[in-house]
Amino acid sequence: MQALRRGLAEVGLRAPAVLAPAGAVGGLRRAHEKLRKTLEPDARENAEEALARQEELARVYRVSERLLRERKLYTGGAQLLQAVGLLRTDAALLERMRAQFR
């Protein structure tokens, strides 16, 4: 949590109630661009504001992930992703784990 607070401070924000995953914002941006032309001006402005908030949250998320990596700290999800990555890239490890957990 301390790393998250530092990340927020680094980009000049206070802690929001909810953080959007960084990868989700790319999809939001593409969807937004498709819908943007069909929206009325008021709705377009609201959508622009919502997208800007999501991008800001994604930036905070990326900074917090970087700060965690720098300190060699991992969230539960990051630990799972790291384990899956190791099993995908290290055939010997994969075979040892298969043999151990059969």
Cβ atoms 22, 62 nearer than 8 A: yes
11 and 53, same domain (yes or no): yes
Distance CA 77, CA 64 (A): 14
> Is 59 found in the same domain as 15?
yes
Domain coverage including residue 83: 74-102
* 16 SS3 class: coil
pLDDT at 27: 66
Instruction: Please count the structural domains in the chain.
Output: 2
Residue 92 has pLDDT above 80, yes or no: yes
Average pLDDT score over residue span 39-51: 82
pLDDT digits (tens, 9 = 90+) for 12-42: 555 544 444 555 556 667 776 777 777 787 8
Residues 9 and 49 in one domain: yes
d(CA 53, CA 60): 11
Give yes or no for a contact between 80 and 10, defined as CB atoms under 8 angstroms apart: no
